[in-house]
Structure 1
Amino acid sequence: MTKKSLIERNNKRKLLINKYYIKRKKLNFIIKSNKFSSLDKWKANIKLQLLPRDSSIVRLRNRCYITGRPRGFIRYFGLSRIKFRELSLLGNIPGIKKSSW
């Protein structure tokens, strides 16, 4: 089981990402576009650097919804491989069954 502090830190990052998503998109568009002058790009880069670090999408970590485990995460189900196996063997995930041939 993951520490509560790590789970809460990840949740805080989710909130910051949602809050600054549009602003980051606009600034990144200005920086990458050829339509703007180098001075505008420089100003946009400075503004982007002033935003909180945790508002960047790459700092978000995929975690299991049940245990908070960060590794072995199956994105489609939102579970770690361990919990996915447990729940599927119990028949709690619809449409999933153990294969044998």
Structure 2
Amino acid sequence: MAKKSKVIKELKRQALVAKYAERRKDLKANGDYLALQKLPRDSSATRQKNRCQVSGRPRGYLSKFMISRIVFRELAHKGQIPGITKSSW
């Protein structure tokens, strides 16, 4: 489980990106880079980090399922992910 502070910080960052998305788009289209620099640093979408929806883990993230590899394995073994079966040959 990730630290709660890191998960909350990432949620705040996502909110800032959503809040300033339209303004950033307009400023980029106009080429006003000085005004873009004055916006909050965390309002840039490239500063977002993908995190597991269940555990908050930042590494080993599977974007198709939006969970980490560890949680994916646990849920797959329990049969809670449709269409995923453990392979054996």
TM-score by length of 1: 0.85
Distance in 2 (alpha carbons) for counterparts of 1:91 and 1:55? 38
Deviations 1:47-98 (A, max 9, x none): 1011000000011110001110000000110100000011001101111111
Q: Which residue of 1 aligns with 2:19?
A: 19
> How many residues in Structure 1 have an aligned counterpart in Structure 2?
89
Distance in 2 (alpha carbons) for counterparts of 1:6 and 1:51? 22
CA shift, 1:46, in A, is 1.1
Q: Which has the larger radius of gyration?
A: 1
Residue pairs, 1:1-101, within 5 angstroms: 1-31=1-31, 44-101=32-89
Unaligned runs of 5+ in 1: 32-43
Deviations 1:30-56 (A, max 9, x none): 22xxxxxxxxxxxx1111011000000
Distance in 1 (alpha carbons) for counterparts of 2:65 and 2:85? 14
Unaligned runs of 5+ in 2: none
Distance in 1 (alpha carbons) for counterparts of 2:28 and 2:60? 31
Alignment partner of 2:80: what SS? coil
TM-score by length of 2: 0.95
Distance in 1 (alpha carbons) for counterparts of 2:10 and 2:64? 19
